[in-house]
Chain A
Amino acid sequence: MHEGKGFISIWFFIGLLLFIYGILILGAGLYNLAVPPEHPVVLQNLHAGVWWGAFLLLVGGFYCVRFNPKRKGQ
């Protein structure tokens, strides 16, 4: 969309936000893995923060690279 106008793709913005969120949530999850919280959530043993943070990091990273405005063809 709007390619002719030198637009940065919306998917790049989404990727960037998910990448940042991935770092924060994965970091918080790993911290909780090392230092268990005083009031754990239900099914804390699943460590949802770790794998969900990693998932966001991967998806966000993929979108950042795939729709990088400096990449040729974008």
Chain B
Amino acid sequence: MPLALLLQSSPGNKLISLGFIDILVIAIYFAMVIGIGFYLKRFATTGNDFFMAGRDMTAWIAGLSFVAANLGSLELMGWAASAYQYGILATHWYWIGAIPAMLFLGIVMMPFYYISRTHSVPGYLKLRFGEPSRALAAVSFALMTVFMSGINMYSMALVMKVILGWDINFSIWVSSLTVAAYVFLGGLLSAIFNEVLQFFLIWLGAILISIIGLIETGGWQGMVNRIHHNFPDQDYTHMWSTLGSFSDNPMGIHWTGIVLGLGFIISFGYWTTDFLVVQRVLTARDLRSAKMAPIIGASFKMAVPFIVILPGLLGLAVLPFKLVGEAQQGVGVHTYNEVLPIMLARYCGPGLLGLGITALIAGFMSGMAGNVSAFATVWTYDIYRAQIKKNATDMHYVSMGRWCTLVGVLISIGTAYFVMQFASIMDYVQALFSFFIAPLFGTVILGMLWKRATSAGGFWGLLAGTASSIGMYAWVKLDPSALRIIALSPHAKDMAENMYRALWSWIICVTVTVVVSLLTKPRPLSELTGLVYGATDIPSEGHLKLYQRPIFWAIAVTIVFFILNIIFW
């Protein structure tokens, strides 16, 4: 049993032992990303370069960066763990939970973001709804971004301790200071360059698990047969057929929660209004590239389950022992979260193991760089310039962006140590982040598609949606029986509750926005040019060949999306 031998031979109770070649692979990666930061410093001299990467990215670069900023290592390991725990149901977060929203961003929303020449999502709210809406969105986003970054940092350091036996302090400081260095030097330009590099490393480091795993099981059908043999009482290999009832699937979720809560609200909220990802697309060199970038991102996102979900399913098929939840953790027992590194150790020898670990580190760094560069932009442009120092020079704002990159990383590190002392705070902060996403989507989409929406409507809708989301969360915490009202079933699990809470808060946001807007004076149409559907001249694509049009590729991706869902129904 090679894996067992490997585990037993690992000193200090760690999962994997790295050899010299593996360490060298990781060290070269660190040297490369720092080197890229130094190289790009000379090109990041203006605010447009530092905060918007010069708005000169091709559709491919912006699209790959768009996906990579979301491909954090915790995302990789977390969803591989979910695939082991819930089976192929986890794929919903990559397909219906991402693809429609990404295509919607590209085709419907991008023209307004791009034509308005905004530098951020809060910046769009300023143009459309005024300063109060921007201030609310900017402050909440800035705070949550650095807190989330710190939580991810701590979680990553914890994972490195479990897998490799690395000291937590070492992991936190080395990885975060590396990110701080290259974002400090080259700003968003450097972050995007490294995200594209990291995207390739993630794929090349993780895909071997799936390839060799499928060879071991004799292909997809062989893997399915083994899973059914190992777990005869559960259905881990169908995406939709078990969603007719809350109690028929291990996730405790109904198809309405997946389609409306995940597929519509949470997904659209995240992919179309979370500035961390939208910022990447705003760097595109022209409108067509900006529309194509999310479509290119969607096509790659659709393939990500091959390197994330499949290793989890392969774990169900081939591992000679069963993984358990965190609550059942004990000596000699491995948890769901360890499935990806366990599969890595199962198949990858010297060099390849280093590449796989580099993929995990690259994932962490791309996620953190996304947080830090988005924080720098929102702080400098939407808080500092808007509220504190309005008429400084461009160089002053670039300098502020550089220093607040460092400050953002230091706050993240502080958060990581705070979480280390009070682990339970992690759940609350993660929930807090989710409070803003669904209502923000309601505010932005009404702002883009409904001319009658007013500044007061936008602000009070956003505030009411956010407050109601917090209220529902607190209600269920204080009185668990409220779950049957919020999530429509007492059997609903946490994920289902999150989805229904998002749905209700979005409905409340939209309702309040509509009612307040109808009761207040609308803005003149001339002030809405470039911001709202019906008041914006969107350039025609009639002169382009069919295959050059974004809508053509969006339809192609949609067709593949439906085919995949039917195949794995």
Contact between chains at A32 and B54 (CB < 8 Å)? no
Q: Size range of the interface on B?
A: 35 or more
Known contacts A28-B351, A49-B349; is-contact A14 B54 (Cβ 8 Å): no
The reply on B348 being an interface residue by CB < 8 A is yes
The reply on B555 being an interface residue by CB < 8 A is no
Contact between chains at B212 and A28 (CB < 8 Å)? no
> Interface on chain B toward A: helix, strand, loop, or mixed SS?
helix
B21 and chain A: residue at smallest CB distance: A28
Cα A17 to Cα B196 in complex, Å, equals 12
Measured CB to CB, the closest approach of chain A to B175, in angstroms, equals 18
The reply on A46 being an interface residue by CB < 8 A is yes
Contact between chains at A39 and B6 (CB < 8 Å)? yes
Per-position binary interface string of chain B over residues 50-74, scored 1 when its CB falls under 8 Å from any chain A CB and 0 otherwise = 0000101110010000000000000
Contact between chains at A24 and B212 (CB < 8 Å)? no
Cα A55 to Cα B193 in complex, Å, equals 23
Per-position binary interface string of chain A over residues 30-70, scored 1 when its CB falls under 8 Å from any chain B CB and 0 otherwise = 01100001011111101011001100100000000000000
Give every chain A residue within 8 A of B355 (Cβ-Cβ). Answer: 21, 25
Contact between chains at B32 and A13 (CB < 8 Å)? yes
Give every chain A residue within 8 A of B204 (Cβ-Cβ). Answer: 18, 56
Per-position binary interface string of chain B over residues 1-36, scored 1 when its CB falls under 8 Å from any chain A CB and 0 otherwise = 011011001000000000001001100110010001
Cα A37 to Cα B9 in complex, Å, equals 13
Give every chain A residue within 8 A of B2 (Cβ-Cβ). Answer: 39-42, 44
Give every chain B residue within 8 A of A72 (Cβ-Cβ). Answer: none
B5 and chain A: residue at smallest CB distance: A39
Contact between chains at A28 and B349 (CB < 8 Å)? yes
Give every chain A residue within 8 A of B212 (Cβ-Cβ). Answer: 42-43, 46, 48
Give every chain B residue within 8 A of A13 (Cβ-Cβ). Answer: 32, 36, 193, 197
The reply on B200 being an interface residue by CB < 8 A is yes
Measured CB to CB, the closest approach of chain B to A12, in angstroms, equals 11
Give every chain B residue within 8 A of A42 (Cβ-Cβ). Answer: 2-3, 212, 216, 346-347
Measured CB to CB, the closest approach of chain B to A30, in angstroms, equals 10
Cα A10 to Cα B64 in complex, Å, equals 12
Known contacts A7-B43, A21-B25; is-contact A29 B61 (Cβ 8 Å): no
Give every chain A residue within 8 A of B9 (Cβ-Cβ). Answer: 39
A37 and chain B: residue at smallest CB distance: B349
Cα A13 to Cα B196 in complex, Å, equals 10
Within 8 A of A (CB), among B189-210: 193, 196-197, 200-201, 204, 208
The reply on A71 being an interface residue by CB < 8 A is no
Measured CB to CB, the closest approach of chain B to A50, in angstroms, equals 10
Known contacts A5-B43, A39-B6; is-contact A17 B28 (Cβ 8 Å): yes
Measured CB to CB, the closest approach of chain A to B11, in angstroms, equals 14
Measured CB to CB, the closest approach of chain A to B185, in angstroms, equals 15
Measured CB to CB, the closest approach of chain B to A14, in angstroms, equals 5
Contact between chains at B61 and A1 (CB < 8 Å)? yes
Contact between chains at A53 and B351 (CB < 8 Å)? yes
Give every chain A residue within 8 A of B58 (Cβ-Cβ). Answer: 1
Measured CB to CB, the closest approach of chain B to A53, in angstroms, equals 7
Which 3 A/B pairs are nearest by Cβ-Cβ distance?
A28-B351, A25-B351, A28-B350
- Not counting A21-B28, A48-B349, A48-B352, a sample of 20 additional A-B residue pairs whose C-beta atoms are within 8 angstroms of each other reads A1-B56, A1-B58, A1-B61, A2-B56, A8-B39, A10-B61, A14-B196, A18-B200, A20-B28, A25-B21, A25-B351, A28-B21, A40-B2, A41-B347, A43-B212, A43-B216, A44-B349, A48-B347, A49-B349, A49-B350
Residues in B lying within 8 Å of A, measured CB to CB: 2-3, 5-6, 9, 21, 24-25, 28-29, 32, 36, 39, 43, 54, 56-58, 61, 193, 196-197, 200-201, 204, 208, 212, 215-216, 285, 345-352, 354-355
